[in-house]
Amino acid sequence: MSTHTYEVWAPEADSLSVLVGAGEPTAHAMERSDDGWWRVAAERGDGRYAFSVDGGEPRPDPRSPSQPDGVHAASELVDTAAFVWTDGGWTGVSMPEAVVYEMHVGTFTPGRTFDSAVQRLDHLVDLGVTVVEVMPVAAFPGDHGWGYDGVSLYAVHAAYGGPQAFARFVDACHARGLAVWLDVVYNHFGPSGNYLATFGPYFTAKHHTPWGKAVNLDDAGSDEVRRYVLDNARMWLADFHLDGLRLDAVHELHDHRAVPLLEELAAMADGVAAETGVPRHLVAESDRNDPSTVAPRGPGGTGGLGLHGQWVDDVHHALHGALTGEAQGYYADFAVPEALPKVLATTPFFHDGTYSSFRGRTHGAVVHPDITPGWRFVASLQTHDQVGNRAVGERLCHLTTPGLAAVGGALLLTSPYTPMLFMGEEWAAGTPWQFFTSHEEEWLAESVREGRAREFAKHGWSDAVPDPQALSTVEASTLDWSEPSRPGHARMLQWYRTLLRLRRELPALRDTPLGQGWAERDEESGVLLVGRGGVTVVANLAAEPRTVRLPERVAGRQVLAAWGQAQVSADEVALDAHDVAVLGT
């Protein structure tokens, strides 16, 4: 029988054993090294194993590669080197080429697995996206959930098919010319199945995130905790051939080191890219509106953190407010006429050192396009957060007219930023996308229900909130693949395909630098004009027809694409209510 070297970091343990095998496992005492790592060579058995610290209950490996029986059960050995890959010719997708599609594997198809998702990849190719961003797949409690309460960061969620299925999915994407980014959560761990504190000082008492204990990045023992995160990120990029990672809520990584973890992660990703010749991108979600997050690293601590991209909420908020009229909560800051023109032409940060009424203070910093070009900022019209964190999970198309949803798509896909779509957005999906969990502990399930009800009350949403624990909530949130061929949905799908084709074919939409475009909004008429190079978008946000006199600089252009019947003369364009036209030469 073959052997395997089991190892685990537990610096404060007095004794440690590995329990090999399911059913009645065999215990093997482990030996401690001076660095706090315990090791022993023992038989592989059936591949199942767990660790007992100081004679305690068996616990999964903190670096478990697979949890086939759930996050509370034994771990399973996986040989990632045995994955079968056919992507030897894959050269990747650069950030300026990226058009991102955010996908939740558990609701993308009724099959809820990677293998069933593969069957729909040709739809994404036909649509014109180039990057699939997969929401978190690290093992979490139960079968169904968003994935942001993961507790086994190295294990691919079993209900999705496990690690081998994920490798097949990535390989299938690469075969179709699609890059794959994975959403990873390093700022906190979920509460159920989280046994890391049994092994070592993975958490700090000095900080707390809105979702639980903060990860220890600078207390005693934090060198190994940082290594835990860095090794995990490298595993995804190297062993699973991923093209990038989306880093969740990096503003909750409380790190006071001279070289922050984010900078170390960026350097590691650049190293993997150099080793393989394939671009690797790290894209941060940050609430700080700080362009140094994506400014290039410099020698001796100069420059920025060196991450390759950053989500920008301000673009979403300005678009959403203009299209829906919502002005509650954080949308209140964007209910001013200048918000939309500013984020569409000048900067991704509406708050770039300006006062935020929602925060009660000034917020953000100025973006310098020569240092941080527009494509470093990932902008969206909808995301899992902005849809799923509404009381009943309404998409934009549920909140406004088809025409205004089409306007939003045009403004996003002609913007100077890297655009990201949320699954189903491209055909105005009729299905909502709601929050769901499958916690085994009733106290935790009830805590989630109560917490979300309190949060919704702040936004004035009094609708009946779907039960996160109910299977019906998951089913209601699953895409209906019969919709894209139906009237209305098919029209929106064709509109998105047309916009993405124009983005590929028109250099002005790719190459016009941030700050060199322009945008004008007439609040009284509801007309919005946006120009980038030789392309002009004319949008009628009003509920009545409008005839728009074009500025001299764009007169004489023809209609490249239109939602509705745009009538263009030499210096005017007539649009029906909630219609939009893309003009060019």
Q: Does 285 qualify as catalytic in the annotation?
A: yes
Q: Is the C-alpha dihedral spanning 144, 147, 153, 154 positive or negative?
A: positive
Residue 584 CA to residue 566 CA, distance in Å, equals 13
Residue 342 CA to residue 330 CA, distance in Å, equals 17
Name the nearest CA neighbour of 378 among 244, 186, 274.
244
Q: Which two tokens stand for residue 554?
A: 């764009």
Q: Does 313 qualify as catalytic in the annotation?
A: no
Q: Which two tokens stand for residue 27?
A: 């215990």
Residue 568 CA to residue 135 CA, distance in Å, equals 43
Measuring CA to CA, how many Å separate 250 from each of 29, 117, 236, 243, 306?
A: 39, 29, 18, 19, 14
b/e code 177-195 from CB counts within 10 Å (16+ = b):
ebbbbbbbbbbbbbbbbbb
Residue 28 CA to residue 26 CA, distance in Å, equals 7
Catalytic residue among 76, 171, 248, 326: 248
Catalytic residue among 243, 285, 326, 385: 285
Name the nearest CA neighbour of 265 among 240, 284, 285.
284
Kindly give, in sequence order, each residue whose CB lies less than 8 Å from that of residue 177, ignoring residues fewer than 6 positions away: 125, 130
Kindly give, in sequence order, each residue whose CB lies less than 8 Å from that of residue 302, ignoring residues fewer than 6 positions away: none
| Secondary structure of residue 318 in the 3-state scheme | helix
φ and ψ at residue 441, rounded to 5 degrees: -90, 125
Q: Is the C-alpha dihedral spanning 7, 8, 10, 13 positive or negative?
A: negative
- 585 contacts 558 by C-beta, under 8 angstroms: yes
Task: Catalogue the active-site residues.
Answer: 248, 285
